Chains A and B, each alone.
Chain A
Amino acid sequence: MNKTEKMNTAPYTITGEGLARKFGRNTLFKDICLSLSTGESLSITGPNGSGKSTLLKILAGLQNPTAGNIGLASNGPIARMEWHAHIGYTGPLVNPYDDLTGWENISFAARRADAATRAVLLLDRFNLDRHRDKKVKHYSSGMKQRLRLILAVLNDPPILMLDEAGTNLDTGGTALLHSYLESVQEEKIIILATNDTQEEKLCREVIRLG
């Protein structure tokens, strides 16, 4: 069993204290405090421009807050440079390589020894198995979104952070996403940035911005 597989068994905690983000003089949000452990879920909602995606990026360690502290721990604090190995993140700005096929993008993102087996199951689950050898530039918007979701969950990360996860998905795709999130809710920390009321209902806690 490798390092990445081992880490999924220990409970995780993500904490944020006094989080604030400013762009120039404009304060996007301030004084946000949260603490989530494995098995808990949070949705971040609010109007366009209220800072949902920014807060999610801060929680994922992809952006610094203007004020406040953010921490990730599992049997002790995890160095921020290592967070990417523990968090499955996706959003509208996470673009797979257009010149590579879906399968080649998956191979690039795969860190686990059993990633290939998981990838086959996920491609089947998200109805993308017939398109795995097509270049991504030939994918529709919905297919790209399904691939983004597969890439986010590929390494079975203990923390999932999904920004507008239902974007461009048809009814079937949305149902697949919701059933997947429900199936892993007890074993992961799930944080969604969304304006979709159905997705919001999947989470036990809500932060409303703006």
Chain B
Amino acid sequence: MGRDILRNIQKDFLVEFRSRFALNVSASFAAIVTIAISLTAGGVPFPVPVQSILLWIVIFFSAMNGLSHIFVREEDQATALFLRISVSVDSIFISKFIFNQVFMVIILAVVTPLFLFFLQVQVQHVAYFIFSIMAGGFSIAAATTILAAMVAKAGGKGSLFTIISFPILLPVLWISISSTSAALSTPPPTGGNLLFLLAFSGFISVISFLLFRFVWLDD
């Protein structure tokens, strides 16, 4: 299975970075929204809770533009059957999961510095801030991998993905916003929020892995 996973990851990165569709759309969205917020603010810094809410709104919608693409592309380009007969169903899920995690890290690496720079955000606890962003991003990518597979098998594609993701990701966004606010504030934060995000990611990843074959295989 390890070789199947490696072959599929290699193929997915090759296809994605040759077209760069998902990456370009997500990065462009992140840059445009961040600059638009910055211009609207007119140089006046937002309160800390508003800063963290805005940051996670930008991260959430930037990610939504690209995270579903990994499965939707297979259906849109009619390559899903070729994928299915070439690698095992478990390795499909694991490789797509890893791809989405790497994609999310790239989105975070683009969005976060832009946001900090344009909105003049002062981070009080840098290590906690980085962990909060990474844990929140990991949770979003973990939960959306199986949702992307479900959406790809349905007809709605992109818009449906954002709609069905929102209720599942609401607790993740809530805790990530709270955790980011704590990192931007003076009092030292506690680790409870980060533990929740890691526990959520682990739980949703295992459940997704177990359910994936029922989503992906035709009846």
Query: CA of A81 to CA of B87 in the docked complex: distance in angstroms?
Result: 10
20 A-B pairs within 8 Å (CB atoms) are namely A62-B85, A81-B88, A81-B90, A81-B213, A84-B87, A84-B88, A87-B85, A93-B81, A95-B78, A97-B11, A97-B82, A99-B15, A100-B11, A100-B18, A104-B14, A108-B8, A108-B10, A108-B86, A111-B3, A151-B82
Evaluate contact between B82 and A98: CB separation under 8 angstroms.
Answer: no
Write the A29-69 contact mask toward B (1 if CB under 8 angstroms, else 0): 00000000000000000000000000000001011100000
In the complex, what distance in Å separates the CA atom of A27 from the CA atom of B7? 40
Let me know if A109 is at the binding interface, CB within 8 A: yes
Contact of B15 among A94, A100, A110 (CB under 8 A): A100
| Bound CA–CA A81/B219 (angstroms) | 14
A96 within 8 A of B: yes
Are A99's CB and B19's CB within 8 A? yes
Number of interface residues of A (CB under 8 A): 26
Minimum distance in angstroms from A46 CB to a CB of chain B:
21
- Additional 12 contacts, C-beta under 8 A, given A63-B219, A109-B82: A62-B84, A81-B88, A84-B88, A89-B85, A93-B81, A94-B82, A95-B78, A96-B79, A100-B11, A100-B14, A108-B8, A110-B7
Complex: A151 Cα to B11 Cα, angstroms:
15
Q: What's the dominant secondary structure at chain B's contact region?
A: helix
B159 within 8 A of A: no
Question: CB within 8 Å of A: which residues of B?
Answer: 3-4, 7-8, 10-11, 14-15, 18-19, 77-79, 81-82, 84-90, 213, 218-219
Q: Which residue of B lies closest to A152 (CB)?
A: B85
When the two chains form their complex, are residues A95 and B219 in contact, meaning their CB atoms are under 8 A apart?
Answer: no
